[in-house]
Each structure stands twice: as C-alpha cells, then as structure tokens.
A = this chain, B = another copy of it.
Amino acid sequence: MKDIVYWREKIDNVDLKILDLLNSRAGFALEIGKIKRKLKIAIYSPEREKDVLRNVAGANPGPLNNSAVCRLYERIIDESRRLEREESLKDSNMDEIND
C-alpha cells in the first residue's frame, strides 16, 4: 500500500500545476480588466460569474461535489476581481500622475 508521504508528494506536484493555471487564469482576467477599463465597463459582471460556475459545475467529474466546486470557484473569481481592481487603481493613479 502507498503511504501518506507518497500521496503528499502527489498533492505537492498537482498543487504546482494548479498554481500555474490559477496564475494563467488571473493573467487572462487582467486582460479582460484592461479591455473593460478602455471601454469603461464595470469589472463586476454577475451574469458572467454564473456562466463560470455553470461551466465548471457542468463538467465536474467529482470526487468534489458541485457545492464544493462552486465554493472554490467563488473564491477564484473573487481573487481575480480583486486583482483587476488593484490593477485598475494603479492605472488610474498613473493617469492622475500623467494628467
């Protein structure tokens, strides 16, 4: 039988892959943030957030159930939005300096 150390190593490896993808995702969200700022569209988009949750819940093979997946994705979306807002603030500070 595999021991705890074996499974922990598997978790550590998969965590680094998840980390990379979360950062890629955040990068894509920042691109959307830039476009939204240019077009003066609000960052918060409740319909889009529902679509994101539908996308993952609809494709979820388990063992995590859909409630768990939605809780996780609410946090992921939340962190993306936070990052978009931070970038947006930086940008508007730069605008003030440049004005």
- Taking beta carbons and an 8 Å cutoff, which residues of A are in contact with B? 1-4, 7-8, 10-12, 14-32, 35-36, 48, 52, 55-56, 59-64, 68-69, 71-73, 75-76, 79, 82-83
Residues of B within 8 A of A20 (CB): 61
With A10-B28, A15-B52, A29-B11 given, is the CB distance from A22 to B83 under 8 Å?
no
The answer to whether A55 touches B16, judged by C-beta atoms less than 8 angstroms apart, is yes
Copies in the complex: 2
Contact (Cβ within 8 A) A79 B72: yes
What secondary structure prevails in chain A residues at the interface with B? Answer: helix
Contacts A4-B36, A12-B52, A22-B69 supplied; 13 other A-B pairs, CB < 8 Å = A10-B28, A11-B52, A14-B25, A14-B28, A15-B52, A18-B21, A18-B25, A19-B69, A23-B60, A26-B64, A27-B63, A63-B83, A72-B79
